[in-house]
Structure 1
């Protein structure tokens, strides 16, 4: 069992301390430095050197292979200081290595795993070649093809957008290896770029993006490139199964890490609202501005409850997380986008400035949408959820067993992350919905929280009925709009369940504020509002307490997330 990373809330996270105060203009890792690199369309080289000195690559290598990857929630927290400062560095130096390596940890041979671990442990880069320009996240339509010829695996085809390609020592490739229909026609390939014959590779021009401008998005064409047969990862035809298993980790970890970016957006606007005066008082004292700040704070807490709980569920409920991780990857970016839009109204014209004390806001506003699409967009995640809902509705809702308390108790130890235990589908059980119904039973009779839980369980009942009425086609990834709406509503209910779980089961490590009902009532009220349910009287009575906590953390330089850990 691994130890908790939350043992000292008074000490900044290691990378937070290493990178220093981003608002200090003399700091080589300041916001100004990252903004200047962004304007150049480059990664901050000083930042890359600092991360190499820290040994960031080892964070993506399992402990059994000499690295530090033991728990998903810890990895997300390690990456948050990077997302707080620069999406390009977080994705280019962090997420790319994670996305490119998880399939190898899941299904690679011992030799492949040792080789890739060595690449990352010496700060080498890994790229992932899964998506295509024309088909996006529909990885089944990959343009790469692989063919076994005379004991070799020969790759052909091209992709235009591969992050970190030009700097990668290793590239994980998804290739079609059979013309037969179905899910057994694709294979994963691990390419050693130094060993691949250079004349059989053609590097395509770099693509520029409006957000995360420092990312090196380039293309690659394999020209009947011969590779050893041992480059095959797992067995031929196993790729789709491998992806469904391993990508649960990235779908949970990356949104949880992006909390750092949303935190900084809220911090920037809070700073503006505290110091800017209108009508004889601070903007933060104006009712609309205060309501927006409180809403963004609550959305951040909702996102952290959801994403962190699912990261922990990867260890404790690995048979159910295929649907949970997809729901996190769908909903959390939407929460951040919407709260960012609302915050931009408070910031006004300054939301578009590319220099000055609030310039990081516009950078994060550009980076977040691109970061959200990295590896899996929202529609793909909904398409993962939809086929699983009818069976869950029949067998796993309204009476199922609740998730164990350790899913929500941030102080409890976790077993090491085991990729082999991750299920391809969620099966017949839905422990998070069990948590929702259990919490509703415990809070029955409470005037506010009980009424909010009743709204949520009523929605769950309606959702169950809607799933039962779906036509056969609407139970597949080719479903119509009704199924996608059901998937969205299901994700909202999961987020509510996680908020309730954290409030009920993490009483000691989150501070006095999160033990009080004010934030929970506000969070559940925002979620029931997303579902179109009528408001509950008194649900907004705790807004003053939530705003006071926001101000306390702002003044004390603490994170706005669940742990409220001290920043530099």
Structure 2
């Protein structure tokens, strides 16, 4: 019996985006709880980080995206059940639509190709990152003065983590042990962090520049938490500051992620 091919990362992004839209539609006209608003903001941040990763690392061919996005998107969409409450169990309407998209993400996460997804990333870990591998360079070349002040300490932590991963790659075991899985996870998360930073321009005015800054800080904080590092500020993962941005995002038409030039796609590893 042939196994159905795993959905590409861009399709998972569509399911996660529609799950967020469905959850917000279910609570339209109500005042969501603080935790519900935080869940929506977190789901939006993971969508934004996923979009940055797809654009920077080769789109659907990205080994990192194929490995990392199924888990990240499944986790954040599952958390949206806090926003939906009892509506998540309804058999019709937005609650039912949310469950269907969440189900698709679970299927993708536990697809039989999960070992192949891991192998595609560990193939990059056979020695320190070099050449066009994004982690061969510091996480950001932007001058500290041009970055949000709140990020300075966090970026120091992330850069130390990058250097630790580079060093660990030189000693990575050849088998699929728990150690190599954990190293692949750290490598993938740092690649996503670099993609978020590479998209930062720090230009604009008024609310636009504030929103861009807050989104970058919050997205990197979520990545830091997953790496076991300290986020920026207290209670970062529960912050609902980006709830309104999540609502605005869901009101805009869906636009497919544009991928990086062919030079980046040479690292597809799949």
Q: What TM-score do the two structures reach when normalised by structure 1?
A: 0.40
Say whether the 8 Å CA contact 1:259–1:561 is kept in structure 2: no
Alignment correspondent of 1:345: 82
Tell me which protein shows more strand as a share of its residues: 1
Alignment correspondent of 1:392: 128
Distance in 1, matches of 2:199 and 2:141, equals 13
Alignment correspondent of 1:256: 10
Distance in 1, matches of 2:165 and 2:45, equals 25
Alignment correspondent of 1:274: 28
Deviation readout 1:451-493 (Å, 9 max, x if unpaired) = 22112101112222323333xxx1x2x2311111000000000
Is residue 328 of structure 1 aligned with residue 65 of structure 2? yes
Alignment correspondent of 1:42: none
Match of 2:51 among 284, 304, 310: 304
Match of 1:517 among 201, 213, 226: 213
Alignment correspondent of 2:159: 457
Q: Which has the higher contact order (CA 8 A, sep 6+)?
A: 2
Deviation at 1:358, TM superposition (A): 2.3
Is residue 430 of structure 1 aligned with residue 127 of structure 2? no
Deviation readout 1:278-329 (Å, 9 max, x if unpaired) = xxxx12xx211111111111011111111222236x9xxxxxx7xxx22110
Residues 545/562 of structure 1: CA separation in 2 closer, same or farther (3 Å cut): farther
Deviation at 1:539, TM superposition (A): 9.1
Structure 2 portions without partners, runs of 5+: 259-270
Alignment correspondent of 2:230: 534
Bigger-Rg structure (1/2): 1
Deviation readout 1:38-75 (Å, 9 max, x if unpaired) = xxxxxxxxxxxxxxxxxxxxxxxxxxxxxxxxxxxxxx
Match of 1:368 among 95, 105, 116: 105
Residues 392/348 of structure 1: CA separation in 2 closer, same or farther (3 Å cut): same
Say whether the 8 Å CA contact 1:306–1:495 is kept in structure 2: yes
Deviation readout 1:417-436 (Å, 9 max, x if unpaired) = xxxxxxxxxxx442355261
Deviation at 1:373, TM superposition (A): 5.4
Distance in 2, matches of 1:520 and 1:562, equals 18
Residues 480/290 of structure 1: CA separation in 2 closer, same or farther (3 Å cut): same
Deviation at 1:272, TM superposition (A): 2.3
Match of 1:500 among 197, 214, 229: 197
Residues 459/360 of structure 1: CA separation in 2 closer, same or farther (3 Å cut): same
Aligned-residue CA RMSD (Å): 3.4
Deviation at 1:350, TM superposition (A): 2.5
Is residue 488 of structure 1 aligned with residue 185 of structure 2? yes
Distance in 1, matches of 2:248 and 2:26, equals 16
Residues 162/391 of structure 1: CA separation in 2 closer, same or farther (3 Å cut): closer
Say whether the 8 Å CA contact 2:126–2:170 is kept in structure 1: yes
Residues 358/303 of structure 1: CA separation in 2 closer, same or farther (3 Å cut): same
Task: State how 1:139-154 maps to structure 2 within 5 Å.
Answer: none
Distance in 1, matches of 2:126 and 2:229, equals 23
Distance in 1, matches of 2:132 and 2:42, equals 33
Deviation at 1:353, TM superposition (A): 2.7
Structure 1 portions without partners, runs of 5+: 1-159, 164-249, 277-281, 315-320, 397-427, 564-568
Distance in 2, matches of 1:443 and 1:344, equals 39
Deviation at 1:260, TM superposition (A): 1.3
